Structure 1
Amino acid sequence: SGWVWNQFFVLEEYTGTDPLYVGKLHSDMDRGDGSIKYILSGEGAGIVFTIDDTTGDIHAIQRLDREERSQYTLRAQALDRRTGRPMEPESEFIIKIQD
């Protein structure tokens, strides 16, 4: 088992009003049946970045400015939705802001 992702990169100066797709957290334990709940924590979680807890899709919901901050360190969890038991070890990952 294991987490499946690459490092995430986001272009700065995103000025749209729609959430910007950043990438997807994915556990290879995920069978696509909604039994896994993805949780995002760390820098900017819930404020700058949101996660769909079923699909693992991460979106940026605020404008990003590389001069203010060039990267965010976040943590990911995958829980069994029924029991709340971790399906993967909590893992740290980085979202880098590129100009």
Structure 2
Amino acid sequence: MFERLAEAKIQEAIRNGEFDNLPFGKSINLDYWASLPEDVRAGYMVLINSGCVPDEVHLLKEIGDLREQLADNTIQDKSMIIVKLREAELKYNLLKERRTQRK
């Protein structure tokens, strides 16, 4: 049943042109997703599918983007990127710590 639903959603997205103009050759990094506890991932999926995304998800995306920028050899001055990365990592770690203290 899940496979049919997923296939229907994919076909609908194709018809709507949602896969047009996607960047090619760039793999998706799911390391951050795998590092989250299973119950947190399930909750995030519900929120994401309903259009609500928690701050942790935004921060993880920002961290991933900043790490990609650091790996980009065409950028000469990476000091601001490093500062932004450290700030985002700190915010994420504080949110994560706050979540574990609530349990």
Higher relative contact order (CA 8 A, sep 6+): 1
Larger Rg: 2
What TM-score bracket applies, with the shorter chain setting the length? under 0.3
TM-score (ref. length: structure 1): 0.27
TM-score (ref. length: structure 2): 0.26
- Answer 1 or 2: which has greater strand percent: 1
- Answer 1 or 2: which has greater helix percent: 2
